[in-house]
Amino acid sequence: MNLTTRILLGMLLGLLCGVVLQWLALPADHFLRTFFLDGVIAGGGEIFLRLLRMMVVPLVLISLTCGAASLGATGKVGRLGGKTIGLYLLTTAIAISLALSLALIIDPGLGVGELETASYAAKEAPGLKATLVNIFPANPIEAMAEGRMLQVIVFAILLGLALNQAGAAGKRILAVFEDLNEIFMKLITMIIALTPYGVFCLMVTLGSRVGLSEITKLGVYFFTVVLALLVHLAVIYPTFLRVLTGLNPLIYLRKMREPMLVAFSTSSSGATLPVTLRTVERRVGVDNKVASFAVPLGATINMDGTAIMQGVATVFIAQFFGIALTAQDYLLVIMTATLASIGTAAVPGVGLIMLTMVLDQVGLPAAGVGLIIGVDRLLDMMRTAVNVTGDGMVATVVASSEGELDRDVFADPDAGAVIQPAQSSAPTQ
């Protein structure tokens, strides 16, 4: 059985197991709850998440330092950065415009019955100056310890550029970094092989908690977000890929199944980053020079799925409270949501915090977030899968335009596949 099938099986079995446990409505001190659900399963899921997170900072540092060092040699850093950031902003702006348009057609907030409005504290959008200054680390060790991804990215780029200019000393250290990069890729391959078990645990927990009653009440909102996510995934990304690279989008989507499933199970593009990076490099064929920069940056600043939720949520909340928004307000929503995505972390649920900033900009009550919180857990899973697919798509487009895409790797269905130890004694790195 290939890895994707095993992951899917793990997810389905986990969900089934969780739903059955929820249905059994076990008492709090029941053995199955204390030992199995809150013990083995919760622990297993947490260990899987930790293993993924364990890889993020070292992988980004090492991989991007190597990438920047070889980029420095070609003098392409600025152009590559401009293209990548430009495409990230463009796809996010398209995502939120699509969401606003669909929501204005479907009107998810009209005719909704009584809903509880849990209170929700608004967050202020960080100012432009603070956002820019915060990209630069005062202390790289602190940036790494705190997992401040943009600061780690800036440090790795500068280190790579310096290695490139430091003559023999730079060459020696770069060789060490390149070896480390291979070793880390191997390590992430080993962790990916555990994914079916990890997602099983995460899905049991989800299945044992999630209720469908909220979805029935917020059904139209829920399905508008899902529809917009699907259109973005199945129409916008494939169009970008086809038009800008001539590649077959179906092959791309098939290769991205593993990061998508991990993103879906973990609800965190940050935790999924090691899987996305490995897939984009080894399975899609994007050279390390581009992937090591575009993917971590994308995981941090590119959140198309999140922007989609925000677009639909804004319309929903405005309609629910009977507040009319003008064309200008919608433009402001597009701008704030696009920019807010840069300053926020890629962790579960952060989309809602960003939403309060967007609502604030157009004078909608932050309490509106309380309306949709009940279905956000499930939507977070789906939009995170879209977020990582967008990161990989932009990396592929940029690589293709720079001649840094290996089309043979792209076309080979088995390239970089994680082979289970039982199938081969020498798994592909």
Q: Which of 195, 300, 306, 336 binds ligand ASP (CB under 6 A)?
A: 306
- What is the nearest approach in angstroms of ligand ASP to the Cβ of residue 295? 13
Residues 197-256 that bind ligand ASP (CB under 6 A): none
Q: Which is nearer to ligand ASP, 282 or 383 (CB)?
A: 383
Q: Are 389 and 341 in contact (CB under 8 A)?
A: no
The pair of structure tokens assigned to 138 is 């005062």
Question: CB of 131: closest distance to ligand ASP in angstroms?
Answer: 17
User: Of the listed pieces 148-156, 180-188, 357-365, 376-384, which binds ligand ASP according to CB under 6 A?
Assistant: 376-384
Q: Return the residue nearest ligand ASP (CB atom).
A: 351
Q: Which of 303, 312, 355, 397 binds ligand ASP (CB under 6 A)?
A: 303
Which CB sits closer to ligand ASP, 87 or 313?
313
Query: What is the closest distance, in whole angstroms, from the C-beta atom of residue 267 to ligand ASP in the complex?
Result: 5
- Count the site residues for ligand ASP by CB under 6 A: 16
Backbone torsions φ then ψ of 54, nearest 5 degrees: -55, -30
Q: Are 301 and 342 in contact (CB under 8 A)?
A: yes
CB 270 within 8 A of CB 149: yes
């199944």: which residue's tokens? 257
Residue 296 vs 416, nearer CB to ligand ASP: 296
Residue 127, SS3?
Answer: coil
Contact 376, 349 (CB under 8 A): yes
Gap between the Cα atoms of 309 and 329, Å rounded? 17
The answer to whether the beta carbons of residues 93 and 304 sit under 8 Å apart is no
**Closest to ligand ASP by CB, 245 or 306:** 306
Site for ligand ASP in 252-291 (CB under 6 A): 267-270
The answer to whether 72 and 297 have CB atoms below 8 angstroms apart is: no
Cα–Cα nearest to 71, from 152, 143, 158, 137: 158
> What residues numbered 60-99 form the site for ligand ASP, per CB under 6 A?
none
Q: Which is nearer to ligand ASP, 3 or 388 (CB)?
A: 388
Site mask, ligand ASP, residues 316-355, x = CB under 6 A?
Answer: ------------------------------xxxxxx----
Smallest separation (angstroms) from ligand ASP to the CB of 99: 13
Amino acid at 306: T
Tokens of 266: 């973990």
What does the alpha-carbon distance between residue 147 and residue 135 come to, in Å, rounded to a whole number?
A: 12
Closest CB to ligand ASP among 98 and 163? Answer: 98
In three-state secondary structure terms, 348 is coil
Q: Say whether residue 387 binds ligand ASP (CB under 6 A).
A: yes
The secondary structure of 29-86 as a DSSP string is T-HIIIIIIIIIIHHHHHHHHHHHHHHHHHHHHHHHHHHHHHHHHHT-HHHHHHHHHH
Q: Which residues bind ligand ASP (CB under 6 A)?
A: 267-270, 303, 306, 346-351, 380, 383-384, 387
